Homo-oligomer: A and B are copies of this chain.
Amino acid sequence: MATVAGMAAATSLIAKPTMKTTDKKQLAHHVFFWLKNRDSKEDLAKLIAGLRTLEKIETVRSLHIGTPAPVEKRPVVEDSYSVSELILFDDVEGQNTYQNHPIHLEFVKNYKELWEKVVVYDALSV
């Protein structure tokens, strides 16, 4: 049965086809890694290869793996990290599934010796 809320949501989507903000709530899970061997291109490539395995986890909606972009140096810009891993989940539950997923646990087990520091941000859209 079509609900009033459902119809309103559908109308809203039709009315805003060029809307760039994600209407659906999402959880942005952003992890920054600092390699032990900061200048090792081999370790960098290994970690990136390991991160690519994470996209197979079923609750991962999108995966963005990056390194510091060549942007203007400003005091507020943190660019000392080695690798950035950005994953979008539908919700906290999707992130929990990911954390305990065999593929993620295998990734941590196989690659954790490569990094000396990790910082994680989990932001839920408002």
Contact surface of A with B, Cβ cutoff 8 Å: 20-22, 26-28, 30, 32, 48, 52, 55, 60-72, 74, 76-79, 81, 84, 86, 88, 92, 95-96, 99, 118-126
Which residue, A27, A86, A92, has most C-beta atoms of chain B within 10 A?
Answer: A86
Q: Flag if B66 contacts A95 (CB, 8 Å).
A: no
24 contacts between A and B (CB under 8 A): A20-B60, A20-B62, A21-B62, A21-B64, A26-B64, A30-B121, A48-B126, A64-B88, A65-B125, A66-B126, A67-B123, A67-B124, A69-B95, A70-B92, A70-B124, A71-B96, A71-B122, A72-B96, A72-B99, A74-B120, A76-B119, A79-B121, A84-B121, A84-B123
Total identical chains: 2
> How many angstroms from the CA of A60 to the CA of B22 in the assembled complex?
12
- The docked-state distance in angstroms from the alpha carbon of A77 to that of B27 is 14
Nearest-neighbour CB distance to chain B for A20, whole angstroms, equals 5
Contact for A64 among B22, B66, B78, CB less than 8 A: B22
A79: chain B residues within 8 A (beta carbon): 121-122
Q: Which residues of B contact A62 (CB under 8 A)?
A: 20-22
How far, in angstroms, from A51 to B118 measured CA to CA in the complex?
Answer: 27
Query: Given A78-B121, A79-B121, list of 8 further CB < 8 A pairs?
Result: A20-B63, A21-B52, A64-B88, A67-B123, A71-B92, A71-B95, A77-B121, A78-B119
